[in-house]
């Protein structure tokens, strides 16, 4: 089949004036086959820039989808690559009619414009996004598509697994801890958290009806787009199925790149805050959106890293550089507080975590060294000390009163473990704010985290909770090491601690089961 090659200039499809790209970035070339008359079911959009190393894996993960690549429309937008990426893409387009290529004349410096172009070119009723470093689980798109077809919902999200670190990790567990169908977005408290373009499928009709686009920013463009979309979504679904693998092989929270860019990220975040402060929202939704923008972005992702701005290098040059970094950090955060105050808003109203309230108070008192001490301890002290008073649990911080004890929502520790009547008996001590909610023990394979088992707990008592697990219950467990969590309120989870003694309880049948204490005083299970 002969492919059709078209060159044209694009129109900035109703972008707001301040977000329109420069004219030189608006030239692109389309390369595609003449498709059959069959309309695609889903459009996948992938922005690419100099990704010759990983692009094969990404593209193949789409072409091998169980839904069938003939039912897909795969739109790859190359943002001015200078390596061999374009040649690789052309070879795929020559072989697969489902692939549409868009080659931008020059690099735009942001994934926003390529994604907007992809949405403009898309012809299917559903849209999903795949970044050029990542890949899809083989049945991922079929699972998302089936949910939307079954429910008629406006949005569905599944499980994302972060790969490339020491151990795989489930991203944003609220998105995939249980199967939900046709629920309100506001029924999931953290739905506005972790809004990268992964593992989610949306309706093209809503995007077009409300003229939704990714803003032209280097960072935070996906966050603004998906918050905007969710504010227009009436009903949404979540699935426990794994959909997406996020590649973080070079992930390093202390890398120079991340240190350099963090201030730029916050300036982008400030634009997003301003954008949503101007929008009319129901009070409940506003509280959730602002909690994400302030607590997650300003505190958890920004101020929690303040301690990293003081290096161990004692040279004058490095010490001076670190000093000015801290000044820039403080000025940026002060700017956020001042701009919020001018809107007659109090940042503290959108913050839930006690440690962040402490940070807020210390910042107002200009006690920046204590903020540094607090978050250095919180991040680097792996074995923390706790105290329980009146069914409430607190971490013991290095700060003096009134910040010495920091409340935590839930706490769980092992009192003892033994074997009786072919059952493991786990005596747990539980404390916290959610003793009256449903809870469970979660056993998760450290290497293959889709391999997990859970057991519901009966009513939790403060004094102790006795969990009796028959040896036969462990028969499906494969030979590996399992982390053990206490999970409550659907997706909140904490490690079960062993603060005072070393647990080592072993049973041998056809397999060997060993409960033991990790180096961080956490309960784990090894199956051989």
Instruction: Pull the structure tokens for residue 74.
Output: 């795969």
Buried b (16+ CB within 10 A) or exposed e, 480-515: ebbbbbbbbbbbbbbbbbbeeeebebeeeeeeebbb
**Cβ distance 31 to 101 under 8 Å?**
yes
Residue 91: exposed, middle, or buried by beta-carbon count in 10 A (0-12, 13-18, 19+)?
exposed
How many Å apart are CA 22 and CA 420, to the nearest integer? 73
pLDDT digits (tens, 9 = 90+) for 139-163: 999 999 999 999 999 999 999 999 9
Q: Which parts of 216-347 are beta strand (E)?
A: 236-247
Beta-carbon contacts of 199 under 8 Å, excluding residues fewer than 6 positions away, are 140, 144, 157, 158, 159, 160, 175, 176, 243, 244
Sequence-distant (6+) residues with CB within 8 A of 528 are 479, 511, 512, 514
Rg over alpha carbons for the chain, rounded to the nearest Å, is 25
Instruction: Please list, residue by residue across 108-136, b when 16 or more beta carbons sit within 10 angstroms of its beta carbon and e when fewer do.
Output: bebbbbbbbbbbbbbebbbbbbbbbbbbb
Residues of the chain with pLDDT under 50: 1-21, 23, 251-260
- The DSSP secondary-structure symbol of 344 reads T
Q: Which of 269, 336, 333 is nearest to 306 (CA)?
A: 333
Q: Please report, for residues 269, 338, 439, the alpha-carbon distance to residue 344 in angstroms, rounded to integers and kept in the order given.
A: 19, 10, 39
Residue 206 pLDDT: 98
245-288: pLDDT as tens digits: 999 876 434 332 333 478 999 999 999 999 999 999 999 999 99
Please tell me the distance from the alpha carbon of residue 409 to that of residue 123, in angstroms, as a whole number: 46
Cis bond before residue 174 (omega within 30° of 0): no
Helix/strand/coil (H, E, C) string of 222-258?
HHHHHHHHHHHCCCEEEEEEEEEEEECCCCCCCCHHH
pTM as predicted: 0.90
Whether 204 contacts 122, CB under 8 Å: yes
How far is residue 14's CA from residue 21's CA, in Å, rounded to a whole number?
12
Spatial strand order of the sheet with 423-432 comes to 410-420, 423-432, 465-470
- CA 99 – CA 60 distance, rounded (Å): 12
- From residue 40, give the alpha-carbon distance in Å to each of 67, 99, 378, 488: 11, 11, 49, 41
Report which of 360, 499, 353 is spatially closest to residue 433, judged by C-alpha positions. Answer: 353
The 3-state DSSP composition of the chain as helix, strand, coil percent (nearest 5) reads: 35, 30, 35
Contact (Cβ atoms closer than 8 angstroms) between residue 228 and residue 273: no
pLDDT of residue 250: 60
Listed in sequence order, the residues at least 6 apart from 230 whose beta carbon sits closer than 8 Å to its beta carbon are: 155, 185, 191, 192, 236
CA distance 236 to 222: 18
- The CA-based angle 16-203-11, given to 5 degrees, is 35
Q: Exposure pattern of 371-390 as b/e (b: 16+ CB <10 Å)?
A: bbbbbbbbeeeeebebeeee
Q: Which two tokens stand for residue 217?
A: 């920013």
- Structure tokens given for 373: 């001490």
Query: Could you report the per-residue pLDDT of 175-204, keeping only the tens digit for each?
Result: 999 999 999 999 999 999 999 999 999 999
Residue labelled with tokens 């077009």: 208
């Amino acid at each position: 089949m002969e492919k059709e090659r078209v060159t044209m200039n694009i129109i900035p499809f109703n972008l707001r004036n301040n977000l329109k790209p420069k004219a030189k970035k608006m030239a692109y070339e389309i390369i595609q086959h003449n498709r059959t008359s069959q309309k695609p079911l889903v459009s996948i959009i992938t922005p690419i820039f100099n990704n010759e190393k990983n692009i094969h894996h990404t593209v193949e993960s789409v072409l091998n989808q169980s839904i069938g690549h003939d039912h897909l429309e795969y739109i790859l937008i190359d943002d001015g690559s200078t390596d061999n990426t374009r040649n690789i893409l052309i070879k795929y387009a020559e072989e697969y009619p489902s692939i549409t290529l868009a080659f931008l004349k020059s690099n735009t410096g942001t994934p926003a414009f390529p994604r907007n172009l992809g949405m403009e070119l898309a012809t299917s009723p559903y849209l999903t996004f795949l970044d050029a470093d990542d890949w899809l689980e083989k049945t991922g798109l079929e699972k998302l598509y089936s949910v939307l077809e079954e429910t008629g919902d406006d949005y569905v999200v599944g499980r994302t697994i972060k790969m490339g670190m020491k151990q795989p990790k489930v991203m944003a567990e609220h998105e995939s801890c249980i199967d939900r169908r046709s629920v309100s977005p506001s029924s999931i408290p953290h739905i506005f958290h972790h809004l990268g373009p992964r593992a989610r499928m949306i309706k093209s009709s809503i995007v077009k009806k409300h003229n939704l686009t990714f803003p032209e920013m280097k960072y935070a463009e996906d966050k603004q787009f998906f918050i905007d979309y969710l504010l227009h979504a009436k009903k949404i679904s979540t699935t426990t199925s794994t959909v997406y693998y996020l590649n973080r092989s070079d992930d390093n929270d202390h890398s120079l790149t991340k240190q350099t860019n963090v201030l730029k990220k916050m300036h982008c975040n400030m634009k997003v805050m301003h954008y949503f402060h101007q929008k009319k929202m129901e009070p409940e939704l506003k509280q959730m959106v602002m909690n994400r923008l302030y607590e997650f972005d300003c505190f958890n992702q920004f101020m929690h890293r303040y301690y990293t701005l003081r290096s161990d290098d004692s040279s004058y040059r490095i010490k001076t550089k670190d000093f000015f970094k801290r000044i820039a950090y403080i000025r940026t955060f002060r700017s956020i507080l001042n701009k919020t105050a001018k809107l007659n808003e109090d940042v503290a109203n959108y913050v839930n975590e006690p440690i962040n309230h402490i940070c807020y108070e210390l910042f107002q008192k200009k006690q920046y060294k204590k903020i540094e001490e607090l978050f250095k301890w919180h991040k680097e002290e792996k074995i923390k000390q706790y105290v329980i008073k009146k069914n409430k649990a607190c971490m013991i911080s290095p700060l003096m009163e009134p910040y010495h004890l920091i409340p935590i929502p839930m706490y769980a520790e092992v009192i003892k473990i033994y074997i009786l009547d072919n059952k493991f008996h786990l005596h747990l001590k539980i404390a916290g704010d959610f003793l009256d909610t449903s809870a469970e023990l979660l056993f998760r394979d450290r290497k293959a985290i889709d391999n997990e088992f859970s057991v519901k707990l009966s009513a939790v008592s403060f004094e102790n909770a006795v969990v009796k697990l028959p040896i036969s219950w462990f028969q499906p467990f494969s030979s590996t090491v399992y982390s053990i969590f206490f999970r409550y309120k659907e997706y909140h989870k904490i490690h079960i601690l062993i603060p005072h003694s070393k647990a080592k309880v072993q049973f041998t049948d056809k397999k060997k089961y060993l409960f033991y204490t990790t180096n961080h005083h956490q309960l784990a299970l090894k199956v051989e």
